[in-house]
C-alpha cells in the first residue's frame, strides 16, 4: 500500500495583489511548523502577477511552502498575446499549475482537448499539473457524476505516458460545491475520487493509481475537512475561499486536529 502525502493547496483565484501575496505567505509561514510540513505538503496557487514575489519570499527565507500558477498556455512561446507559458512558470520555480479549473472551462471555454494539451505542456516544462475535473449540478441531479467526471479524466490524460501520469495530481471539484457553501458529503467525494483511482488503474496500472494524489475541492473549510480527508481515496484539498484566510487555511492543513 502506497502512502500518499496529503496535498493542501490554496487556489487564490483572482485575489491578492503581489503585496498582499507576500503578507499572506509570511503569515502562513509564521503559523506553520516542521510537524505540519512533515505531515502535509502545502502549496499556494497564485495569480501570475504574484508569482515572482511569492518565489522571492519562499526561496529567500527557505520556506517549505510550494507554489504554483493557476493556468498555462499549451504553447512554449510565440504570438499568443496575454498567455503565459510553462517555460516561464518553470523559470520561476513553480512546482504546480492547475489545469482545467471549472472556472476556466466555464468562462474561457476550455475543452478536454485543450486541457490535455496544457497537461502535456506542464509536464514538458517540469511542472506538476493539478488537473481539475468535476460535474455541474444538472449532471449530479441526473446521477451521472461518475461517468461525466471520468470522461473529463480520460480527455485530460489522453496520450499522457505513465511516467508522467504517475506524478499528476487530480482535483475532483464538483462545480455545484465551488464557492457555494454547498460542500459534497464525504461519501459523495469518496464515490467519485474512488472511481477516479479505479479509472487510473484501468488506464495505467493499479500501482500507478495507488501513487496518484486525488484532491477534493469545493467549499472546504476547517469544519468539514477532517471528514473529507478521512475518505480512503481523498489525498488532499484544493481550497478556494478558505485559503484567503491564513488562520483558516492553517487549520485545514492541520485537519488531523479538527
Ligand atoms: O474552486 C475551488 C478551488 O479550486 C474551490 O473553491 P471554494 O473553496 O471557494 O469553494
- The residue-averaged pLDDT of 238-253 equals 98
Q: Which atom of ligand 1 is nearest to the CA of 180?
A: 10
**Residues pairing with 45 in the sheet:** 11, 68
Long-range (24+ apart) CB contacts under 8 A made by 114-119 are: 114/74, 115/152, 115/155, 115/156, 116/155, 116/156, 116/157, 116/158, 116/159, 116/160, 117/74, 118/71, 118/72, 118/73, 118/74, 119/156, 119/157, 119/160, 119/168
Residues near ligand 1 (Cβ within 6 A): 11, 101, 173, 178-179, 217-220, 238-242
The protein residue with its alpha carbon nearest to ligand 1, atom 3, reads 240
Crossing angle of the two packed helices 18-31 and 246-253, in degrees rounded to 10: 40
Crossing angle of the two packed helices 186-203 and 222-229, in degrees rounded to 10: 50
Spell out where 28-146 has E strands: 41-45, 66-69, 96-99, 128-133
pLDDT surpasses 60 at 128: yes
* Tens-place pLDDT, residues 70-91: 999 999 999 999 999 999 999 9
Ligand 1 center from residue 241 Cα (angstroms): 6
The protein residue with its alpha carbon nearest to ligand 1, atom 2, reads 240
Over pLDDT 70: what percentage of the chain? 99
The protein residue with its alpha carbon nearest to ligand 1, atom 7, reads 240
The protein residue with its alpha carbon nearest to ligand 1, atom 8, reads 240
- The residue-averaged pLDDT of 103-130 equals 98
234: helix, strand or coil: coil
Cα separation, 123 vs 74, in Å, equals: 11
* Tens-place pLDDT, residues 140-156: 999 999 999 999 999 99
Ligand 1 center from residue 220 Cα (angstroms): 7
Q: 159-189: b or e for each residue (b if 16 or more CB lie within 10 Å)?
A: ebeeebbbebbbbbbbbbbbeeeebbebebb
Q: Which atom of ligand 1 is nearest to the CA of 238?
A: 3
Ligand 1 center from residue 79 Cα (angstroms): 32
User: How many other C-beta atoms are found inside a 10 Å radius of the C-beta of residue 15?
Assistant: 16
Residues annotated as catalytic are 101, 173
pLDDT surpasses 90 at 166: yes
Ligand 1 center from residue 5 Cα (angstroms): 21
**How confident is the model at residue 13, as a pLDDT?**
98
User: Residue 192: what are its φ and ψ, rounded to 5°?
Assistant: -80, -40
- The residue-averaged pLDDT of 116-123 equals 98
pLDDT surpasses 80 at 1: no
**How confident is the model at residue 183, as a pLDDT?**
83
118: helix, strand or coil: helix
Q: Which atom of ligand 1 is nearest to the CA of 177?
A: 10
The secondary structure of the chain in percent helix, strand, coil, rounded to multiples of 5, reads 50, 15, 35
Model confidence band, residue 181 (pLDDT cutoffs 50, 70, 90): confident
**How confident is the model at residue 182, as a pLDDT?**
82
**How confident is the model at residue 2, as a pLDDT?**
65
Q: Which three cell numbers stand for residue 198?
A: 479505479
* Tens-place pLDDT, residues 203-224: 999 999 999 999 999 999 999 9
Is residue 7 left, alpha or beta, with left meaning phi > 0 and alpha meaning psi from -120 to 50?
beta
- Mean pLDDT for all residues in the chain: 97
* Cα 194 to chain centroid, rounded: 17
* Tens-place pLDDT, residues 86-110: 999 999 999 999 999 999 999 999 9
Amino acid at each position: 500500500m502506497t502512502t500518499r502525502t496529503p496535498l493542501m493547496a490554496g487556489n487564490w483565484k483572482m485575489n491578492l495583489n503581489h503585496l498582499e501575496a507576500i503578507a499572506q505567505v509570511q503569515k502562513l509561514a509564521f503559523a506553520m511548523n516542521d510537524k505540519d510540513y512533515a505531515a502535509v505538503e502545502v502549496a499556494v496557487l497564485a495569480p501570475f502577477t504574484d508569482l515572482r514575489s511569492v518565489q522571492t519570499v519562499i526561496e529567500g527565507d527557505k520556506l517549505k511552502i510550494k507554489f504554483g500558477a493557476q493556468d498555462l498556455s499549451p504553447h512554449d512561446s510565440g504570438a499568443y498575446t496575454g498567455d503565459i507559458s510553462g517555460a516561464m512558470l518553470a523559470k520561476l520555480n513553480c512546482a504546480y499549475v492547475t489545469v482545467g479549473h471549472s472556472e476556466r472551462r466555464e468562462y474561457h471555454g476550455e475543452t478536454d482537448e485543450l486541457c490535455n494539451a496544457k497537461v502535456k505542456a506542464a509536464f514538458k516544462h517540469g511542472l506538476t499539473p493539478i488537473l481539475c475535473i468535476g460535474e455541474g449540478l444538472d449532471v449530479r441531479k441526473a446521477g451521472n457524476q461518475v461517468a461525466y467526471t471520468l470522461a473529463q479524466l480520460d480527455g485530460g490524460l489522453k496520450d499522457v505516458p505513465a511516467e508522467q501520469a504517475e506524478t499528476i495530481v487530480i482535483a475532483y471539484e464538483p462545480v455545484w460545491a465551488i464557492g457555494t457553501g454547498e460542500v459534497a458529503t464525504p461519501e459523495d467525494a469518496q464515490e467519485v475520487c474512488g472511481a477516479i483511482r479505479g479509472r487510473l488503474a484501468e488506464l495505467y496500472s493499479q500501482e500507478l493509481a495507488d501513487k496518484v494524489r486525488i484532491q477534493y475541492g469545493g467549499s472546504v473549510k476547517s469544519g468539514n475537512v477532517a471528514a473529507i480527508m478521512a475518505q480512503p481515496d481523498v489525498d488532499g484539498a484544493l481550497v478556494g475561499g478558505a485559503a484567503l484566510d491564513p488562520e483558516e487555511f492553517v487549520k485545514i492543513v492541520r485537519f488531523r486536529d479538527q
